[in-house]
């Protein structure tokens, strides 16, 4: 086993989905209630938990997520190679973007040493292991061979990394308390500041039905990810809104 990263040395999972596990919604919403995520930066079309998500085709390890200004992103990275994701989270933090990472517990490896030296907070999930969700069947699978932790990269935090614990039962009981008040993500997504900034420039966009406003913001976000110039994004968004109004 490499000492620089966590490997699936004892995993019996099919190799094509080893890195495509979905975070249990209870864990995600427990964290989202605190951090109000603006993006899921290590996701796929099948396992994302936020309407705003980056897939393998975007390649977060090359392009990063520092452009997602104004909030925290969620990151449950491929566990086959964690160290580059930790370094990318630190890079984003240095540029003002917070990251919360869900990771396995292994204090003996290189990525954990880097995590301890760069994150602002590490919280170990105690009292049991997390059962992740298979991306192909959407079913939780028991038998996780390691515990879990979440790490916070707070761009406004300085000093030593804070270490704490949270009981797994507390996570799940919190979810039960808040689940009925969780907004419909299709209507109440939290978007990066730049998405809302461009959307608000198009006055007529605000009068569109909620479902069309969502499509407009998704379009803006895609242009931001593709690094369109600001003026082009404004023009393209205005044209999109005009077409939607014409069809209404």
Give a yes or no: residue 114 inside a domain.
Answer: yes
Q: Considering 126, 157, 181, which residue would you say is the last residue of a domain?
A: 181
Give the closest residue to 5 by CA, choosing from 89, 101, 90, 112: 112
Are 30 and 82 members of one domain? Answer: yes
Tens digits of residue pLDDT in 206-217 = 999 888 888 898
Give a yes or no: residue 12 inside a domain.
Answer: no
Give a yes or no: residue 75 inside a domain.
Answer: yes
Tokens of 157: 């935090």
Lowest mean pLDDT among 170-179, 216-225, 229-238: 216-225
Tens digits of residue pLDDT in 5-40 = 433 334 444 444 454 678 999 999 999 999 999 899
Give a yes or no: residue 69 inside a domain.
Answer: yes
The DSSP bridge pattern shows strands 148-153 and 162-167 to be unpaired
Residue range(s) defining the domain that contains residue 219:
193-247
Are 37 and 105 members of one domain? Answer: yes
Are 47 and 138 members of one domain? Answer: yes
> How high is the pLDDT of residue 186?
63
Are 44 and 72 members of one domain? Answer: yes
The widest CA-to-CA distance across the chain, in whole angstroms, is: 60
Residue 7: C-alpha distances to residues 14, 80, 104, 173, 231 (Å): 14, 5, 10, 31, 45
Are 105 and 210 members of one domain? Answer: no
Say what the pTM is: 0.75
Are 123 and 95 members of one domain? Answer: yes
Are 162 and 82 members of one domain? Answer: yes
Tens digits of residue pLDDT in 38-82 = 899 999 888 888 888 888 888 899 988 988 877 899 999 999 899
The CATH number of residue 175's host domain is: 3.40.50
Alpha helix ranges (H) inside 122-229: 168-178, 193-201, 210-225
Is the per-residue pLDDT at 223 higher than 90? Answer: no
Are 62 and 171 members of one domain? Answer: yes
Tens digits of residue pLDDT in 113-163 = 999 999 999 999 999 999 998 877 778 888 788 999 999 999 998 889 999
Domains identified in the chain, total number: 2
Give a yes or no: residue 82 inside a domain.
Answer: yes
Give a yes or no: residue 176 inside a domain.
Answer: yes
Q: Considering 156, 181, 206, which residue would you say is the last residue of a domain?
A: 181
């Amino acid at each position: 086993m490499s000492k620089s990263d966590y490997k699936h040395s004892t995993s019996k999972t099919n190799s094509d989905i080893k890195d495509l596990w979905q975070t249990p919604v209870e864990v995600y919403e427990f964290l989202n209630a605190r951090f109000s995520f603006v993006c899921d930066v290590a996701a796929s079309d099948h396992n994302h938990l936020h309407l705003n998500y980056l897939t393998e085709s975007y390649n977060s390890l090359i392009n990063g997520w520092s452009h997602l200004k104004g909030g925290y992103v969620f990151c449950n990275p491929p566990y086959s190679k964690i160290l580059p994701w930790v370094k990318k989270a630190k890079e984003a933090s240095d540029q003002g973007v917070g990251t919360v990472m869900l990771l396995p517990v292994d204090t003996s490896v290189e990525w954990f040493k880097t995590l301890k030296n760069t994150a602002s907070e590490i919280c170990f999930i105690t009292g049991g292991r997390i059962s992740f969700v298979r991306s192909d069947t959407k079913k939780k699978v028991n038998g996780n061979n390691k515990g879990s932790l979440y790490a916070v990269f707070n761009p406004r935090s300085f000093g030593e990394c804070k270490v704490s614990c949270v009981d797994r039962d507390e996570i799940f009981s919190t979810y039960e308390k808040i689940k009925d008040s969780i907004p419909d993500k299709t209507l109440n997504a939290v978007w990066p500041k730049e998405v809302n900034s461009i959307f608000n420039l198009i006055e007529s966009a605000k009068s569109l039905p909620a479902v069309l406003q969502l499509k407009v913001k998704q379009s803006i976000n895609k242009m931001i990810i593709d690094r369109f110039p600001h003026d082009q994004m404004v023009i393209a968004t205005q044209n999109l809104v005009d077409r939607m109004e014409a069809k209404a």
